[in-house]
Amino acid sequence: MSQTEHTGNSLELRYGMNPHQKQARLFTEGKLPIRILSGDPGFINLLDALNGFQLARELRSATGLPAAASFKHVSPAGAAVAAPLTPELAKAYFVDGLELSPLATAYARARGADRMSSFGDAAALSDIVDASTAQLLKREVSDLVVAPGYTEEALDILKAKKGGKYLIIQIDPDYVPDPVELRTLFGLKLQQERNDATIDASALEHIVTENKELPDHAKRDMLIALVTLKYTQSNSICYTLDGQTIGIGAGQQSRIHCTRLAGDKADRWFLRQHPTALSMKFRQGLSRAEQNNAIDLWLEEELTPVEQAAWEAAFDEVPARLTREEKREWLSRLQGVSYGSDAFLPFRDNLDRASRSGVKYVVQAGSSMRDEEVVQAANDYGMVMSYSGVRLFHH
């Protein structure tokens, strides 16, 4: 079939997981819940789109706010709900001076959570896409957008992206899959009940720490962490703050490695808001992606002479590097962070590391052999910790 040809229940794809894997298609027994409005989807495109939209839709349901996810290689690079941006965040996200709708703000936050990882993302949106959101998508390097609908103006804007090749997917927001899902691995069939666990405020009620003060903003952020983890490759850990993810650790075999990875990303997210980072004077013509790369290298402890020369070439005025002490001082201001785990915490080392990135609120499954040790760690740091009672592995 040619580009984007499909029937009511089948859609031919460009190729499978890799270009040499042919005979790729999407199909179902009933009517497909998606329509391709522009572009030519591949296998991974649809993995990201279908996972990402579920995340955005469930964030909308859990919080009541417009939501967005920036998806990349079957895990979220960022997820967020609509919340006003500070001037510092707007500048760090390259959206200062733009008028953003609530949905556009949610996507700016989701993409800004980890701009390095969001490069070439799948943008998943909970609401009908408006012109403001479409304009933001048009200026970013993105592979596709999936949403329940698009205004006429938004669709015109997006259809002009990539010379008309930008992948635009419309999905039925009320679609409910069969309760049992099936997949094939190595020619063998695997079957299970779909993960239809509902994430809501009841997951936060079982507080096990001495500190039991859980403000509304923390509840919102903890729900964002749990919903994000539901669609993140396991093992996974998520740090959230101010209505968005700020660090996601995905697909690590050790939970402490997830915690470290996510914590390091959270630290970098906050360091990008340092006055030195916000005042950098880049060489004229440098793309936003190249500016992101330069800021990321600025955070490295040291560079080789070749790396240093290439890095300096990005600037009109080369910025001073922060010392370790300056970084520690700045990071000490990162406070009130929420932390979620897709399963129980087996050792206290996870909270020891999380504490260094401003974590105050924790939600995890509970029922570890060392629960007492982990609760003690939370008490040592004055954290509030809830047991959700639900494991959220995703593979």
Domains of the chain: 10-171 (3.40.140.20), 195-270+331-387 (3.40.140.20), 275-321 (1.10.287.440)
Task: Please list the pLDDT of the chain residue by residue as tens digits (395 residues).
Answer: 334 555 678 899 999 989 999 999 998 888 999 999 999 999 999 999 999 999 999 999 999 999 999 999 999 999 999 999 999 999 999 999 999 999 999 999 999 999 999 999 999 999 999 999 999 999 999 999 999 999 999 999 999 999 999 999 999 999 999 999 999 999 999 999 999 999 999 999 999 999 999 999 999 999 999 999 999 999 999 999 999 999 999 999 999 999 999 999 999 999 999 999 999 999 999 999 999 999 999 999 899 999 999 999 999 999 999 999 999 999 999 999 999 999 999 999 999 999 999 999 999 999 999 999 999 999 999 999 999 999 999 99
Neighbours of 384 (CB within 10 A): 22
Please tell me what DSSP assigns to residue 318. Answer: P
C-alpha 94/C-alpha 112 separation (Å) is: 9
Task: State how beta strands 236-241 and 244-250 pair.
Answer: antiparallel
User: Which active-site residues does the annotation give?
Assistant: 72-73, 235, 395
- pLDDT, position 50: 97
Q: Side-chain half-sphere of 170: how many Cα atoms within 13 Å? A: 12
Fill in the amino acid letter for 181.
E
- pLDDT, position 29: 86
Cα(first)–Cα(last) distance of the chain, in Å?
31
**Torsion angles phi and psi, residue 239, rounded to 5:** -100, 135
Cβ neighbours of residue 328 closer than 8 Å, sequence gap 6 or more: none
Q: Give the length of the chain.
A: 395
- pLDDT, position 305: 96
C-alpha 365/C-alpha 164 separation (Å) is: 45
C-alpha 62/C-alpha 280 separation (Å) is: 38
* Torsion over CA: 33, 38, 39, 44 (sign): negative
C-alpha 68/C-alpha 25 separation (Å) is: 26
The residues that bridge with 245 in the sheet, in sequence order, are 240
- Are 159 and 151 in contact by the 8 Å Cβ rule? The answer is no
- pLDDT, position 4: 53
Neighbours of 70 (CB within 10 A): 30
**Torsion angles phi and psi, residue 202, rounded to 5:** -65, -25
Give the chain's radius of gyration (CA, Å): 21
3-state secondary structure of 329: helix
Find the largest Cα–Cα distance for the chain: 62
